[in-house]
Chain A
Amino acid sequence: MTESLYNLLATSFRYVFILILAVLFFRMVSLAVQEHRWARRPGDSAYCGVLETVRGGESIHYGITRDNVIGRSRRCDITLLHRSVAPVGVHLYWGRDGWILYSMNGRRPLRVNGQTISRKTCVHDGDLIQLGNVTLRLRLWDEEE
């Protein structure tokens, strides 16, 4: 390698270095903006994903935040208008081990991907959650990447 080749290499790569730092900078800005939108505050309606109705109930996308109580009652964060669903069915939240689904009603069965859940389980993007006769698919925007 000669001096002129090195000069060519170094002058060409200065654009690459600026590009790397610019992409990194704007990526960090974008992450900060997204997190700001998702920040958990009382009354904040920022969503981390959706629950899609697969079977039973109305065909609706329910936006989920980091802390959601799901059931038939209008007091729940997400109200599923179906008789088979318990008034206060499950709590879906971001906890120690990721996304946690907690059964708040022992009488009515809760199934995740066909498996009956006794109390508490971790859930992931794409999981099928069955509350009574309503089946929902969990879509987490965070895990899709």
Chain B
Amino acid sequence: MLSISRRSGAPFMLIALFEVFGFAILSIREGALGLAEHLIDPMGIILMAGALFLLILQYWLLPALFRYIDRYVMILYNTLFAVGIVMQYRLNAQIAVKQMLFFTIGLVAMAVIIGIFQSGWLHEGRRWLYFSAGLLLLGVAMVFGTVTRGARNWIEIGSFTLQPSEFAKVALVFVLACYLREKRRFWGYTPLFAFVGISVILLVLQKDLGAALLFYMTFLLLLYVATSNWGYLGAGLGALAVGGVISYKLFDHVRLRVAVWQNPWSMVDDGGYQIVQGLMALVSGGVFGSGLGLGSPKYIPAYRTDYIFAVISEEFGILFGVLLIGLYVLLVFRGAAIARRANNAFHALLALGVTVMIALQSFIIIGGVIKLIPLTGVTLPLVSYGGSSMLSTMMLMGILLAVSQENGRADAETLDEAYDEEEWDEEDGDDNYQEDDV
């Protein structure tokens, strides 16, 4: 990508400016409101320095390590993270420190993925590795999982907790790219159907409906993109409708979610409280917001994770929320552009898989918060608090950047290698073109 490599300075400066203003205002909040002894919270200054350091480090180091990675994607994920980290600091300083740590680990994981991808180790021949990794992660959650907010999708390792379904998303993207890169007859896709079927059933049994919907829709959209077969898409959507009806009949929590979505106001004390508080937060903020640190986010359950969009819209305003959605849209367009420029079907499907996953996840949670669709608990990528979510999203960004790196390298080397390997026959220079003399 030519132009962005030299024009990314201004957007990076804007991200830095946002972080400086955000942390500066919030670091004096508690002192000004009489909640702390000192006027300035040193943690805010430390976090600001940390966020700026990570931004500058990425700006210089990543393109130095990987010359052709797409800085456009870098700007977008850094903007989303900047909004998220400022909001997390506003909600709880300790949580913000953890979130920054998760982002740092995520950056390392992203760089490692780009490096491994560049070495050629993550190729389409390792389908059984991706296949077994995905099922193992979901199986572990099923067997050893602990129940958190109704879903059995967390496992505890010592003092750490992990959400394996988040990492299974990365495996799913690889499995889909491996199986869909070449056209097959219907039965040729049987292992893929089995993988997706088992994954979705395990997720539904764990009551992780958001992840189940995300897995299934990613599979369906990629299947359609790879095969251009309307029959598969129609049958898939039909199966989704049938599955939805069966889940509605079988599971109480699904019936409750739908009822709450239809009329949360009539069920405020019986499951509708979260949606009502979220909607009230959106309305109370108005177009321009109540001001950073002046809202009442803690009335909303899951305000740090699933409902972070409502919290952001309350304090920064609905206009800001719309712009935030716009950034996800740009990320989706960019991902599609990277997929379109890919050198082979495997790379194209990997990039598209990541893009579809991010697009669906953002749509599912923002749609749930604004009551467009029934609420299912997934995180808002790069903004919500959560180590597993942050790490898996950064791994997905790593895949996208790795494909962009491969695209750029192939483009530039096509011309360079032609000249490195072949010497121009000087005699031919004039002789072959004599007829064109003017």
Q: Chain A: residues with CB nearer than 8 A to chain B?
A: 1-3, 5-7, 9-11, 13-18, 20-25, 27-29, 31-32, 34-35, 38, 40, 48, 66-67, 71-75, 81, 83, 86-88, 91, 93-96, 100, 102, 104-107, 120, 142-143, 145
Q: Are A75 and B433 in contact (CB under 8 A)?
A: yes
CB-contact partner of A87 in B29, B293, B430, under 8 A:
B430
In the complex, B106 has a CB within 8 A of chain A: no
Return chain A residues, CB-CB under 8 Å to B319: 18, 22
Report the separation of the CA atoms of residues A24 and B326 in the bound assembly, to the nearest whole angstrom. Answer: 11
Q: Are A1 and B14 in contact (CB under 8 A)?
A: no
Q: Are B21 and A3 in contact (CB under 8 A)?
A: no
Pairs across A and B, CB under 8 Å, 26 listed: A1-B31, A3-B34, A6-B32, A7-B294, A10-B25, A11-B294, A14-B288, A14-B292, A14-B315, A20-B17, A21-B18, A21-B320, A22-B323, A25-B330, A31-B3, A67-B415, A72-B438, A73-B436, A74-B436, A87-B436, A88-B429, A88-B433, A94-B412, A105-B426, A107-B430, A142-B2
In the complex, the 7 A-B pairs of residues with the closest C-beta atoms, listed nearest first? A87-B433, A10-B291, A6-B32, A105-B429, A106-B426, A73-B436, A11-B291
Q: Which chain B residue lies CB-closest to A9?
A: B25
* Contact residues of B between 38 and 92, Cβ < 8 Å to A: 39, 67, 72, 75-76, 79, 83
Q: What is the 8 Å Cβ interface bit string for chain B, positions 277-293, against chain A (1 contact, 0 not)? A: 00000000000111111
Q: Are A66 and B2 in contact (CB under 8 A)?
A: yes
CB-contact partner of B324 in A21, A75, A142, under 8 A:
A21
In the complex, B152 has a CB within 8 A of chain A: no
Q: Chain B: residues with CB nearer than 8 A to chain A?
A: 1-4, 6-7, 10-11, 14-15, 17-18, 21-22, 25, 28-29, 31-34, 39, 67, 72, 75-76, 79, 83, 288-294, 315-317, 319-320, 323-324, 326-327, 330, 333-334, 411-413, 415-416, 419, 424, 426, 429-430, 432-434, 436-438
Q: Are B316 and A18 in contact (CB under 8 A)?
A: yes
Q: Are A96 and B330 in contact (CB under 8 A)?
A: no
Q: Which chain A residue lies CB-closest to B1?
A: A35
Report the separation of the CA atoms of residues A86 and B437 in the bound assembly, to the nearest whole angstrom. Answer: 9
Q: Are B14 and A23 in contact (CB under 8 A)?
A: yes
Return chain B residues, CB-CB under 8 Å to A1: 28, 31-32, 39
Return chain B residues, CB-CB under 8 Å to A25: 323, 326-327, 330
CB-contact partner of B32 in A3, A38, A102, under 8 A:
A3
Report the separation of the CA atoms of residues A112 and B319 in the bound assembly, to the nearest whole angstrom. Answer: 51
Distance of B90 from chain A, by nearest CB (Å): 10
Return chain B residues, CB-CB under 8 Å to A23: 14
Distance of B48 from chain A, by nearest CB (Å): 15
Q: Which chain B residue lies CB-closest to A80?
A: B438
Most buried by B among A75, A96, A120: A96
Report the separation of the CA atoms of residues A13 and B293 in the bound assembly, to the nearest whole angstrom. Answer: 11
